Structure 1
């Protein structure tokens, strides 16, 4: 519990240190950015740590992290002293700052308690996430090394792991605890941030009824972002209790939940367990039934934030949620600016522009998929401000003069990472497969899209039709242009005919619906933006969200999955971005249903179906939480190695010994493994020590699926094979030295992969330095290294 408290205190201290900077960046916010200080402080302090480590100013360890936080606090003090309005702003927003600290605290401890009942770090991609967290903590030099590819720097967007490492160091807890509490901090930061953004937008919109509607919008946004889910929950519950209708399940594309038909073949996607295995309680007790909620649309990943937090992978798409909300806050605050933005603004506000550059650059460093979407949205916000005060040409010049240097600074600020970053992405391709059926799309995104449409309905009753008609023809180009681009691109690849037919009637209907909603939202947003009306912000968020979903129906980013499930990641990443945007727009939309006015009765009538859909969206988490936690039974711990210590004390002792005795720069040989293996790459994952090769497929994902990379990684695997298959001391020493390794681990994974490993040869050639149970560690004698070098 002391570690949990230290982690919480550390997060709030970092947030408090960033408060003066938030006042400068987000002064237009009613709370002056108080709700966004946890993420702002962590981004700025983590960047400070990263750049100072890269410049060899700081050493690894807790001291460097504390110094980075101290520098942030010092900058905050300087900013506060230079800001003549700081004291007045602090007095004005003091109660709100306490409120957001309270939201953060409740969310943090609630999630930590939930996670303590399933804290084990294993399965899915959690070993990979732990590997990167440990790399941030122990790498002797920065950029950090890749523990699964010795001698190489990390080639991934790892800023989220660095942020978790910062909090882990500040709190003084081990990585196995920091992993789980890092998840809790992301959950808490997301809650505070989305409440802040939704409350700000609602306050700007509902000026005459803000006391009542602002809390509704903030609360609804939290629910939509962190709790609302796919509508599949009711289908899972009905199937578990055998009250189903096969035609209904087939209509929504979830017949895979139902028991297999008697004549179903071995390849059929259906439930093969007995009824007794599905549930023995009011909720489904089938193992991980909730996993199906992340595969609602065939051939894609359809994660949403609640699922991600339920699963517990400390992955970039999850850790980036608070940062995305911060970028949205910057865009919203910019749109509300009273003054145009140009190069002169940079000369007058260099510190603010530098901070914005660090935030926007962090989007790529934390989750590369986000940078184009949300940095682009910031540019659009600047253009909207400038258009209100100048003709198009002059506004465009001013926008380039302001955003150009900021984006260039963002690139320069993150060059130490960019120079080592490789990607397997192979460019933009047309999607020519089966389109998303409308009911499957509704099952996945029905709740947030429907909630956002409430705001569109509220605005439609308040804008004269003539204003809409003047803008609508121009806004129509937004959904039309992607379609016009798709056709020649598909033809270029020789897939136009196939693409037109393969999409299917359902796919075309979904495309038309998403295009129409995008058109309506952006028409309304542009109409109101010209007047500087705040509702344009929420409508733009909603329009961008549906545009992303629309785009994922037409295009894909080619990657290593292209040959089998081509749009797997595209739908996943863009759908995730859309969910975040819709949470804000939907929160404000749900609040609009309660707004007073001449159409109040219409709002009340719309509230009924909205409430029904939101209720359906909350069934999934209601069922999934007790399933994931075992109904909160059993032992609880925030230590991700607690189960390892109980179930495999020898492997746990290995982790402790390696942490204590082996230098962080040493290379430790362990068996290579397939990706997604819980024990595969365990040394690199659990300790951050460099190993020759870990998860092969993931290294290909990170570095590119080229013939050269495959050949290089296979050669390393063969070198490791030589270590464990050596039959003479000389062969063994030659193999170990060829890997420049200092230690060799022999445990269950090694014995399983190399059953012929000779312990006699190991004992003759190497020094046994650790032995607990069936786990051994051998050190390479210094004399052996010298004699073969």
Structure 2
């Protein structure tokens, strides 16, 4: 039956993509692909946006129906020629073209990516608590399925709304309702769908940019898809190379390598025998350096992953603006002040971290696109003329008018986006601030090169080939990069050696029209992002210091750079006649380009080979059922969870031990138990969505220490306090069920709440007792 379920979801994606295609064709009519790769994300943006706003009145089938009706109407308006309709003629709009080869290629890329993750999750579908955020993600799905209105009630903070960005989980629940699928299967099928949208989105954008630049479009798309879907950083290839060297040389290199990546030399020298799919995501000490294949192998249905298709859609809108001629002012205004803000408003609740990146890419498009940015504003053309007249040189006028004007327009676009996301932002009460990063906490050069080296090498070759007209020019650039490298090492600011040349050369190439295009704007954007996180970070509870900042930003950089990489690699196999004079012939340049492409794949694809082989060798569940593991590992608790899920109603509240590692008043016998990232922490509320009074200590990051630990204290009092305090807690939070399992017994020892007259036993297994509060 699961084969049919997979086919059913593929059909649902196809239908939604069909409805989204007329809108994509209008938005991206100038793309080589007509934007077919973005048809599904566009459909989901419209469906989810409508359902989100309706959901504040009523959530569930009504919100889903409203979203589907709205999507269908918008699709029809975009598909048909409105003038012909007035004459009672049903004619497709001229923008709606249907190239069979393009559609088949995109559908094939989507399907292959979808089945890759289906296979990965079939081997290990469990929403286990360890090694990620699956408990959080699955709990959000269950909370949304129980919600009568939005925002949903938090499963880990009863009586209060979810503070985490839940837009991707909302999208998943809408897909579950549309297909009639339980959360147990929707979790993994949606995970596969988001991955497929990422891969086909990169394929579409890389192909369209390459076609605009005159490079092989399909090759560019495939290279981009491979880099975003299968490539890893250089650590795995590095291990292989080091272990193949003579012992003395290998040991010497391993010592230096290990210091840069925060590991032990023995781990490096272990090579293949010491391989772990996890290690390449923790290269730079104190940070997380995820890339897509790692993320989907790990299997969280997390915001930073679900937001990527819509980050790509934002980049596609920026490229559509880039391709729009200056006289077509109305269309440029529509893209900037309607399309991007609608997307940005939804992205605020899907993955808030990626909204600044979307606005940043829009700023770069405004800065370097053929159309002057100020001309999109009322009286902008006169402002442009005034700037050119008043400033002393053309170069200064260009930078002030274009860069500054683009900043003004991008700020307006960003303001509109956050205004549309205000309903979520106004209820998110966790405070965050930006802080400067100390020099001692910055990344070492070795770690930066391992994480970003493949991209930096390719982009460096690409830019040098376009800027340097002769061997002398190449040597001058090489000297400048060498000086930058030395300065970076001396100043302990290694990022200068990695991002500095890309920013400088990319900006020069674009500003002086050196045969580059939108791919170079993306190159600059990624370099800027990795530079920013070496200067500042967001102060928050999600990990020490800048761990979460680097995590979220690096993941986006990989996506942005994968698009540029596809275009750059396609340029290597189709070099221009007059890029640089230092190659003797075009054929020689092409041969060298092919060699570079082969080397880049050879050093980035080993991770996929080892990680996938290891995954399938060690996992063989044979199902997509996300909670099936509970039946095998915790059968009695699974029975109790199933009973609670069936018996509970909307409005019920659960009392169970908090997912914390302290007991503020010392009431708990073992206050360090259960902690978080363990099955023992809040399995009942997480797997049913029935809200508990105090769940995982993640809530500290959303609501602060005081609010969370006040609840932990009250839960402790409820289990082992005096009767008056116990009853007061039950009354204050409207508790209807009390869960007493192995966690509660270990944390509290003798539990006295069961002696209250208002509490009666409702269900019991050997491991769990559930009490009902009258």
Q: TM-score range by the shorter chain?
A: 0.7 to 0.9
Within the alignment, does 1:775 sit opposite 2:768 as a pair?
A: yes
Whether the aligned pair in 2 keeps the contact of 1:42 and 1:163 (CA below 8 Å) is yes
In structure 2, the residue matched to 1:119 is 125
CA distance in 1, matches of 2:168, 2:11: 19
Deviations 1:75-101 (A, max 9, x none): 211232356794544344344223322
Q: Is the 8 A contact 2:122 2:620 kept in 1?
A: no
Deviation at 1:770, TM superposition (A): 2.3
- Aligned-pair distance for 1:573? 2.2
> How much has 1:307 moved relative to structure 2?
1.2
What stretches of structure 1 of length at least 5 have no aligned partner? 261-269, 481-499, 704-708, 782-789
Q: What is aligned with 2:500? A: 515
> Normalising by structure 1, what TM-score?
0.82
Q: Deviations over 1:363-396 (max 9, x none)?
A: 3322222222221321342353432875873677
The match for 2:670 is none
1:675 positional shift: 3.0
1:182 offset after TM fit, Å?
Answer: 1.6
For 1:103-162, what per-residue CA distance to the aligned partner results, in whole angstroms no more than 9, with x for missing partners?
A: 212211221111111111112221111122222222222112211111111112221211
In the superposition, relative to structure 1, how do residues 779 and 289 fare at CA in structure 2: closer, same or farther (>3 Å)? same
Please say if 1:318 is aligned against 2:323: no
Query: How big is each residue's C-alpha offset from its partner over 1:549-585, in whole Å with a ceiling of 9 and x where there is no partner?
Result: 12222222233378xx422223222222221111011
The worse-fitting range, judged by mean Cα deviation, of 658-667 and 329-338 is: 658-667
Give a deviation string over 1:678-705, Cα, whole Å, max 9, x none: 3312223212221111112x112123xx
Tell me if 1:443 matches 2:442: no
Partner of 1:224: 227
- Whether 1:376 aligns to 2:376 is no
* Contact 1:229 1:617 (C-alpha < 8 Å) held by counterparts: yes
Correspondence for 1:486: none
Aligned partners of 2:600, 2:492: CA distance in 1, in Å? 23
Which structure 1 residue ranges, 4+ long, deviate > 6 Å from structure 2? 238-244, 395-402, 461-466
1:142 to 138, 144, 150: 150
**Cα distance, 1:465–1:427 mapped onto 2, change above 3 Å:** same
Q: Counterparts of 2:309 and 2:472 in 1: how far apart (Å)?
A: 37
Q: What is the CA distance between 1:192 and its match in structure 2?
A: 1.0
Select 2:258's aligned residue among 232, 253, 259: 253
> Aligned equivalents of 1:634 and 1:233: distance in 2?
24
Q: Is the 8 A contact 1:191 1:222 kept in 2?
A: yes
TM-superposed deviation, 1:637: 0.9
Question: Aligned residue pairs: how many?
Answer: 707
The 1:39–1:589 alpha-carbon spacing in structure 2 relative to 1, beyond 3 Å, is same
Pairing 1:686-701 to 2, within 5 Å after superposition: 686-696=687-697, 698-701=698-701
1:606 is displaced (CA, Å) by: 4.3
Q: Tell me whether 1:215 sits opposite 2:222 in the alignment.
A: no
Q: SS at the partner of 2:499?
A: helix
Rounded Cα–Cα distance in structure 1 between residues aligned with 2:144 and 2:773: 26
- CA deviation after TM superposition for structure 1 residue 49, in Å: 0.7
Q: CA, structure 1 residues 561+666, in 2 after alignment: closer, same or farther (shift >3 Å)?
A: closer
Decide whether aligned partners of structure 1 residues 289 and 420 sit closer, same or farther in structure 2, where only a CA change above 3 A counts. same
Secondary structure class of the residue paired with 2:624? coil
**Residue number among 27, 33, 43 corresponding to 1:31 in the alignment:** 33
Partner Cα distance (1:665, 1:81) in 2: 46
Pair 1:519–1:461, CA change in 2 (3 A): closer
**Mapped partners of 1:465, 1:52: distance in 2:** 64
1:174-253 equivalences in 2 (<5 Å): 174-206=182-214, 210=215, 213-236=216-239, 245-253=250-258
- Confirm or deny that 1:545 pairs with 2:526: yes
Judged with a 3 Å threshold, the aligned counterparts in structure 2 of structure 1 residues 401 and 259 are, in CA distance, closer, same or farther, namely closer
Which stretch of the first structure deviates more once superposed, 450-459 or 194-203? 450-459
* Equivalences for residues 126-137 of structure 1 within 5 A: 126-137=134-145
Aligned to 1:757: 751
- Rounded Cα–Cα distance in structure 1 between residues aligned with 2:345 and 2:21: 21
Once the two structures are superposed, the pairs formed by residues 528-539 of structure 1 within 5 Å of their partners are 528=513, 535-539=516-520
Instruction: For structure 2, list consecutive stretches of 5 or more residues without a partner in the other structure.
Output: 84-90, 376-380, 386-400, 578-585, 660-674
SS in 2 for 1:750: helix
Closer/same/farther in 2, CA of residues 9 and 773 from structure 1, 3 Å limit: farther
8 Å contact 2:359–2:413 — kept in the other structure?
no
Structure 1 residues 680 and 241: alpha-carbon distance in aligned structure 2, compared to 1, 3 A threshold: farther
Cα distance change, pair 376–235 in 1 and its aligned pair in 2 (3 A): closer
Return the match for 2:48 from 46, 52, 63.
Answer: 46
How far the C-alpha of 1:443 sits from its partner, in A, is 0.9
Q: Residue in 2 aligned with 1:567?
A: 546
CA offset digits 1:582-634 (Å, max 9, x no partner): 10111111111110544341242244244223212111121112223335x53
1:398 Cα deviation after fit: 8.2
Q: For residue 18 of structure 1, give the secondary structure of its aligned residue in structure 2.
A: helix
Deviation at 1:238, TM superposition (A): 7.5
CA distance in 2 between counterparts of 1:407 and 1:444 reads 30
| Alignment of 1:655 onto 2:641 | yes
1:434: how far off?
Answer: 4.4
Report the CA distance between 1:187 and its aligned residue: 0.7
Is 1:387 the counterpart of 2:394? The answer is no
1:294 aligns with 2:294: no
Report the RMSD for the aligned CA atoms in angstroms.
3.4
Does residue 102 of structure 2 align to residue 99 of structure 1? Answer: no
Instruction: Give the structure 2 partner of residue 624 of structure 1.
Output: 611
Change in Cα spacing, 1:241 to 1:640, as seen in structure 2 (3 Å) is: farther
The alpha carbon displacement at 1:400 in A equals 8.2
Number of the residue aligned with 1:494: none
2:11, 2:625 → 1: CA distance? 18
Go from structure 1 to structure 2 and tell me whether the alpha carbon gap of 1:335 and 1:83 turns closer, same or farther (over 3 Å shift).
farther
CA–CA distance in 1 between the matches of 2:80 and 2:366?
A: 28
In the superposition, relative to structure 1, how do residues 64 and 238 fare at CA in structure 2: closer, same or farther (>3 Å)?
same
1:511–1:553 contact (8 Å) kept in structure 2: no
Q: What is the distance in 1 between the residues matched to 2:147 and 2:169?
A: 13
Q: Find the partner of 1:720 among 715, 719, 724.
A: 715
- d(CA) in 1 for partners of 2:382, 2:459: 31
Decide whether aligned partners of structure 1 residues 578 and 635 sit closer, same or farther in structure 2, where only a CA change above 3 A counts.
closer
Deviation at 1:732, TM superposition (A): 4.0
| Alignment match, 2:88 | none
Cα distance per residue 1:629-659 (max 9 Å; x no partner): 335x533111111111222222222332233
Summarize the Cα distance change of 1:507–1:727 in structure 2 as closer, same or farther, 3 Å threshold: same
CA pair 504-174 structure 1, distance change in 2 beyond 3 A: same
**1:253·1:440 contact (CA, 8 Å) conserved in 2?**
no
Q: Which segment is superposed worse, 75-84 or 443-452?
A: 75-84
- Quickly say closer, same or farther: Cα 1:126–1:462, change in 2 above 3 A: farther
Once the two structures are overlaid, the 10-residue window that deviates more, 79-88 or 456-465, is 456-465
Are residues 382 and 747 of structure 1, via their aligned partners in 2, closer, same or farther at CA, if it must alter by over 3 Å?
same
Q: Deviations over 1:523-561 (max 9, x none)?
A: 1122339xxx7x320011011111211222222223337
Q: Which stretch of the first structure deviates more once superposed, 119-128 or 595-604?
A: 595-604
- Distance (whole Å) between structure 1 residues aligned to residue 337 and residue 98 of structure 2: 25
Q: Normalising by the residue count of structure 2, what TM-score does the alignment of the two structures yield?
A: 0.84
Aligned with 2:512: secondary structure? helix
Pick from 620, 628, 650 the counterpart of residue 642 of structure 1.
628
Determine if contact 1:425/1:557 at 8 Å carries over to the other structure.
Answer: yes
Counterpart position of 2:394 = none
